[in-house]
Amino acid sequence: MTAAPTLEDLLQTCTQSALHLEMRDGYMRDDPLLARWLNGHRDDPADRLSWWNPWLQLIHETTARGVEVRRARVVSEPVSEYIRFEYEITFRNVVSGEQIRWLPRRQATDLALPGNDFWLIDGQYLVVHHFSGEGDFVDDEISTDPQTLKLCNSAFEAVWERAVPHEDFRLH
């Protein structure tokens, strides 16, 4: 039996697009980066060696191949402490080549959104992230079901169309 591909495997082989929809107001409260930020640490964008990591390198390599990597975040306002943290470190994603947009949750009421965060790779593979109620990662599920792929692509594009580019978005 062949193991299912990981998100990293799919990103390494994708050729056109990687779409990521995030809809939670908090993730993994035990994240060491979050703990450092809560204790006052702030990354210096000019000191890339201090914050560059394998994930950012993978995204950089993916976008360097011409793959469009887009991340859309649906957030409640006023934003949570976690979203403030995420907003502040988003410069890392931008430097790695991602396009980022933010959509206030109140502007998403009439959108049909899936129940989970996901990555859609080349429109062919859906990596669904499952989290606990506390925001801790549980596992990933891979789907190639055409109807689910279509729903998630449509949801992502609807959010993307309304969302504000990172450089123009301001926290409330």
Query: In CATH, what number is assigned to the domain containing residue 146?
Result: 3.30.870.10
Tell me whether residue 131 is in a domain: yes
Please compute, for residue 83, the number of CA atoms within 13 A of its CA located in the half-sphere on the CB side.
Answer: 22
pLDDT digits (tens, 9 = 90+) for 79-93: 999 999 999 999 999
CB contact at 8 A, 72 and 101: yes
Residue showing tokens 């450089």: 167
Give, as one character, the DSSP assignment of residue 6.
Answer: P
Residue showing tokens 């697009």: 17
- Note the Cα 46 to chain centre separation in Å: 23
Please state the domain count of the chain: 1
101 three-state secondary structure? strand
pLDDT at 131: 87
Share of the chain above pLDDT 90, in %: 83
98 three-state secondary structure? coil
Tell me whether residue 1 is in a domain: no
> Which domain, by its residues, includes 122?
7-42+49-168
pLDDT digits (tens, 9 = 90+) for 63-75: 999 999 999 999 9
pLDDT digits (tens, 9 = 90+) for 104-133: 999 999 999 999 999 999 999 999 999 888
pTM: 0.94
- Note the Cα 35 to chain centre separation in Å: 20
Tell me whether residue 38 is in a domain: yes
Tell me whether residue 113 is in a domain: yes
Over residues 151-163, the mean pLDDT reads: 98
pLDDT at 155: 97
